[in-house]
Amino acid sequence: MAKVPRNFKLLEELEKGEKGLGDGTCSYGLSNGEDIYMSNWNGTIIGPAGTIHENRIYSLKLYCDENYPESPPIVHFISRINLPCVNQHTGKVEHSRLSCLAQWKSSNSLEDILLELRREMANPVNKKLPQPPEGSLF
Amino acid sequence: MTTAMNSHTTSMFAPEMKGLHVIEFITNEQPYPAEKLIEKLQEFQASFQEEYEDFSVGSSKMHSSSHQFSVPFFGQQHDSRLFDGIESTAEDDLEAGDDNEVEALIKKNAVIKTAIEKIRKATEEQEKQLRDKEEELQELYETFAELEEELQVITHEQPHIMTKFERIRDKANTFNYLNIILFIMEDSNEQLINVKFRPSTGDGFDYRFDPGQLTVQQLKEKLALRTTIPANSMRLVYSGRVLKDEDMVDLYGVKEGHTIHVVRGADNRAAEQAANVPPSSTGQRSTNSATTNPFANFDQDLMRSMMNSPMIRHLLSNPEIVRSMVMQNPTMRQMIERNPEIGHIINDPSFIRQTMDMARNPELMREMMRNNDRALANLETIPGGFNHLRRMYHTLQEPLESAGRNNDQSSEAANRRLAEMLNVESPPEGRINVTPLPNPWAPRNNNNSSTSGNITSMFGGIPSFGIMGFQMPFPSPSSASRIANSTQGSTTPSTTQNSQTNETPNATSLTNAPGTTQNFSNINIPQNLSMSTDPEYSRRIQQVMQRFMTSSQFASRQQMPQSYYPTSLFGSPNPFFTNMSQSLGASQTTTSEPPETRFRAQLQTLEEMGFMDQAENIRALLAAGGDVNSAIEMLLRNLNSA
Facing residue for B278 by CB, picked from A28, A33, A42: A42
Share of chain B above pLDDT 90, in %: 1
Task: Give B215's pLDDT tier (boundaries 50, 70, 90).
Answer: confident
**Cβ B441 vs Cβ B476: under 8 Å:** yes
Q: State the amino acid at position B421 in one-letter form.
A: M
A50 to chain B: which residues are within 8 Å by CB?
A: none
B56-83: pLDDT as tens digits: 555 444 444 444 444 444 444 444 444 4
**Cβ B319 vs Cβ A66: under 8 Å:** no
Count CB neighbours of A69 within 10 A: 22
Mean pLDDT of A73-96: 92
Give pLDDT, residue A37: 86
Q: What is the DSSP string of B182-249?
A: HHHHHHHHS--EEEEEEESSS--EEEEE-TTT-BHHHHHHHHHTTSSS-GGGEEEEETTEEPPTTSBG
DSSP class of B28: S
B398-445: pLDDT as tens digits: 655 555 554 444 455 655 555 555 544 444 444 454 444 444 454 444
Task: Give B396's pLDDT tier (boundaries 50, 70, 90).
Answer: low
Give pLDDT, residue B600: 83
Task: Give B597's pLDDT tier (boundaries 50, 70, 90).
Answer: confident
Residues 6+ apart with CB under 8 A from B56: B13, B62, B63, B66
Mean pLDDT of chain A: 88
Contact at CB, A31 and B269, closer than 8 angstroms: no
Give pLDDT, residue B254: 84
Residues 6+ apart with CB under 8 A from B335: B342, B399, B400, B402, B403
A61 to chain B: which residues are within 8 Å by CB?
A: 278, 280
A17 to chain B: which residues are within 8 Å by CB?
A: 239-240
Give pLDDT, residue B136: 87
Q: Is the pLDDT of residue B111 over 60?
A: yes
Element spanning B282, H or E: helix B279-282
Give pLDDT, residue B89: 47
Facing residue for A135 by CB, picked from B240, B258, B272: B272
Give pLDDT, residue B609: 83
Separation CA B306–CA B312 (nearest Å): 7
B31-56: pLDDT as tens digits: 556 677 777 777 777 777 766 666 65
Give pLDDT, residue B30: 54
**SS3 letters across B474-511:** CCCCCHHHHHHHHHHCCCHHHHHHHHHHHHHHHHHHHH
Residue B219 distance to chain A (closest CA, Å): 18
Facing residue for B278 by CB, picked from A18, A56, A61: A61
Give pLDDT, residue A116: 92
B224-243: pLDDT as tens digits: 888 888 888 888 888 888 88
Most confidently modeled range among B244-253, B506-515, B538-547: B244-253
Mean pLDDT of chain B: 60
Q: Is the pLDDT of residue B303 over 50?
A: yes
Of B506 and B151, the one with more pLDDT: B151
**Cβ B590 vs Cβ B625: under 8 Å:** no
Contact at CB, B265 and A32, closer than 8 angstroms: no
Most confidently modeled range among B85-94, B318-327, B329-338, B597-606: B597-606
Of B443 and B362, the one with more pLDDT: B362
Give pLDDT, residue B200: 74
Residue B189 distance to chain A (closest CA, Å): 23
B196 to chain A: which residues are within 8 Å by CB?
A: 19-20
**Cβ B251 vs Cβ B289: under 8 Å:** yes
Could you report the predicted ipTM of this complex, rounded to two decimals?
Answer: 0.88
The predicted model scores a pTM of 0.34
Separation CA B395–CA B521 (nearest Å): 11
B318-344: pLDDT as tens digits: 666 666 766 666 666 666 666 666 666
Residues 6+ apart with CB under 8 A from B635: B606, B611, B616, B617, B620
User: Among B498, B443, B458, which residue's Cα sits nearest to residue B624?
Assistant: B498
Mean pLDDT of B596-614: 82
First-to-last alpha carbon distance for chain A, in angstroms, is 39
Give pLDDT, residue B622: 84
Mean pLDDT of B531-538: 52
Contact at CB, B240 and A135, closer than 8 angstroms: no
Q: Of the given ranges (A98-112, B28-42, B139-153), which has the lowest mean pLDDT?
A: B28-42
B164-187: pLDDT as tens digits: 667 776 766 666 666 666 655 554
Give pLDDT, residue B489: 39
Mean pLDDT of B347-361: 64
DSSP class of A73: P
**Cβ B470 vs Cβ B525: under 8 Å:** yes
Of A34 and B126, the one with more pLDDT: B126
Q: State the amino acid at position A35 in one-letter form.
A: D
Mutate to test the interface with B, among A15, A27, A28 (most CBs of B within 10 A): A27
Contact at CB, A44 and B240, closer than 8 angstroms: yes
In degrees, to the nearest 5, what angle opens at C-alpha B140 toward C-alphas B136 and B142? 115
A29-84: pLDDT as tens digits: 998 878 888 899 999 998 888 899 888 899 999 999 988 888 999 999 999 999 99
Mutate to test the interface with B, among A10, A52, A57 (most CBs of B within 10 A): A57
Facing residue for B276 by CB, picked from A41, A55, A78: A78
Of B172 and B455, the one with more pLDDT: B172
